[in-house]
Amino acid sequence: MTVAYDNVLCLLGKQVSFLYVFQHKLEEYCLEYDGVVTDVLIHLDKPVEICIDSGNFYVLEELDQFTIDS
């Protein structure tokens, strides 16, 4: 396992917040999320994903203003 994957596994159980920006019908939306990282998906051929509060998964590299809250 590489260092990058070790670092992402350290997010498990941490309180985080971030902005998720997406497009829908030529409109851009920005949603703010916060919660506890409950799952981490490490793919061999895709970017790493995290799950917040056992809900939706988000591609880690697509998140803006990602912070780990203390």
Residue of 17, 25, 29, 26 whose CA lies nearest to 63? 17
**Contacts for 69 with CB less than 8 Å, ≥ 6 apart:** 14, 15, 16, 17, 34
Residue 2's pLDDT is what? Answer: 45
Express each pLDDT in 20-65 by its tens digit: 988 888 899 899 999 999 999 998 899 999 999 999 999 998 899 9
Residue of 28, 27, 11 whose CA lies nearest to 19? 28
Higher-scoring residue by pLDDT: 4, 6: 6
Mean pLDDT to the nearest integer, 5-16: 87
Confidence (pTM): 0.81
Q: Which residue has the tokens 């998140």?
A: 63
